[in-house]
Amino acid sequence: MPAVSPALPGTFDVVVIGAGVIGCAIARRFALEGARVAVIEKADDILDGASKANSAILHTGFDAPVGSLEQVCVAAGYAEYEEIHAKLNLPLIRCGALVIAWTEAEAALLPELIAQAEANGVADVEPLTEAETRRLEPGLGAGLQAAFRVPREYLVDPWSAPLAYLAQAIANGAELLRGAEVTGGQLDGDWTLQTTRGPVTGRIVVNAAGLYGDVLDERLLGKKDFAIRPRKGQFIVYDKPAASLASHILLPVPNKVTKGIVVCRTAFGNLLVGPTAEEQDDRETAALVPETLEALRRRGEEILPGLKAEEVTALYAGLRPATETKDYRITAHSAQRMITVGGIRSTGLSSALGTARHVLRLAEAMGHATQPPVDPVWPEVPAISAFARRDWQQPGNGGIVCHCESVTRREILAALDGPLKAQTLAGLKRRTRVTMGRCQGFYCSAELARLTEGRLAQPMLGHD
Ligand SMILES: Cc1cc2nc3c(=O)[nH]c(=O)nc-3n(C[C@H](O)[C@H](O)[C@H](O)COP(=O)(O)OP(=O)(O)OC[C@H]3O[C@@H](n4cnc5c(N)ncnc54)[C@H](O)[C@@H]3O)c2cc1C
């Protein structure tokens, strides 16, 4: 039989499977340590799984189980994001959060939660009376009992962050293979992974397959020690004027299953209400359910009655890679030279950089050792947050294409170019915000179809 030519030539020190936020951060960490890294993603573009839809809160980990791996990774990820975000041109909206008790029973839980925060190293939480809470957030609805403030819970851009991590990995030598599903593999000294685009060889394999983490373990190890049961979260995004209704992230008292319904601004200047927590078997589709969204809307209006007068921009839903336990399922399979990074359920955006450091330590315990580059490259991602100076404010941008989100022709063309170029319309939206505003692409889709012609895996339709 003729040898199948490899999808990527040579032997990599580390092959990361999955380009969600966790895989992107792991690729960055290993590349910054000097490893030769490959990232394999089955979708036509990155961030196509759990990482495509979340609340975009940079959590401190104040409510994580004390002593859990999740808490350790969130704390480390949070610290590193704070340290590096400006260098990568990533936003950080330092708004703080209020954890609000709406019933007497919830109010009785606040001291315990404050003690938990302190045990998790989040020592700056402030208990608030009802009056103090209302002074901070005058728009809150009836029934409020008491609250506490977590000053360092922040908002970030959920897509630019992983994009920046992978861009930095690539700028420091990593290679990305998209549209390539890992279907199996053999360990014979090194790993040879079978992908739908040909084999890839590596010394250590990292399973960062998110919603398919258990499936991939079965394919590569012939066994799995956890089962993913996707947990859907639906959201309502309100128009930008609604963002003036709340300055903090408004959190409920969390329960054992979920952090509950949050009301917060977004890095793009909107206000969102969500997510729900609904278990399902389907790993692909996060369907929007009108009755659930109606209940979500009513809950949002109870929290912030001013929302009754606000318009909705969009609805969306995401899937958390939940397992039968709350904590992360990160395992080093030393004999198989494989690390599974599974069950990164509801804090992966916050923990990604910390999780990546944890995975590096596990690989080092397996004998992985490389020499970090003397002068690593720090690429900047385009500023697309509402809190940054945007391209439309700079000369030579080619004019605005998407007027709702002020996206310029230059921003779109730049996102369609380079080693991490958008290959799907969804990927282009996540890189630029194009079509994500009030009109949802009604006015700019024809122009966008012209600009993207011949460049996307699935062409946009109907620009004539
Ligand atoms: C509703 C909701 C709200 C959330 N809110 C927050 C929040 O506010 N703050 C926070 O920190 N976190 C939040 N999260 C959690 C966060 O989004 C997740 O923890 C994170 O996205 C998990 O990322 P991942 O990389 O592990 O998985 P994924 O994003 O699913 O990435 C896995 C990738 O692997 C690819 N893949 C799978 N199988 C294969 C294969 N065989 N071959 C090649 N590629 C493969 C997939 O296509 C996918 O791109 C929220 C999540 C949800 C759903």
The residue whose CB lies within 8 Å of the most ligand 1 atoms, and thus the one to mutate among 57, 159, 212, 264, is 212
To the nearest 10 degrees (0 to 180), the angle between helices 160-171 and 21-32 is 30
- Nearest atom within ligand 1 for CA of residue 235: 1
Strands 37-40 vs 175-177: parallel, antiparallel or unpaired: parallel
Average pLDDT of the segment spanning 417-422: 95
**pLDDT at residue number 405:** 96
Average pLDDT of the segment spanning 31-40: 98
Coil vs helix vs strand at 107: helix
In the chain, what is the greatest distance between 2 CA atoms, to the nearest angstrom? Answer: 77
Average pLDDT of the segment spanning 299-316: 97
Distance CA 106, CA 412 (A): 47
Residues 302 and 331 in one domain: no
Residues 176 and 272 in one domain: no
- 388 secondary structure, DSSP code: S
**Ligand 1 within 6 A of 70 CB?**
no
**pLDDT at residue number 1:** 56
**pLDDT at residue number 2:** 61
**Ligand 1 within 6 A of 77 CB?**
no
**Assigned domain for 341 exists:** yes
Average pLDDT of the segment spanning 318-325: 96
Distance (Å) from CA 50 to ligand 1 centroid: 3
pLDDT at residue 354 tops 60: yes
pLDDT at residue 463 tops 90: no
pLDDT at residue 221 tops 50: yes
Per-residue model confidence as pLDDT tens digits over 76-120:
999 999 999 999 999 999 999 999 999 999 999 999 999 999 999
**pLDDT at residue number 464:** 43
pLDDT at residue 462 tops 60: no
Host domain of residue 329: 11-52+159-226+325-365
Average pLDDT of the segment spanning 392-417: 97
Average pLDDT across the chain, whole number: 96
CATH for 233 = 3.30.9.10
Coil vs helix vs strand at 146: strand
Residues 395 and 248 in one domain: no
Distance CA 128, CA 96 (A): 14
**Assigned domain for 370 exists:** no
| Percent with pLDDT over 70 in the chain | 98
User: At 255, is the pLDDT very low, low, confident or very high (cuts 50, 70, 90)?
Assistant: confident
| Percent with pLDDT over 90 in the chain | 95
Residues 148 and 235 in one domain: yes
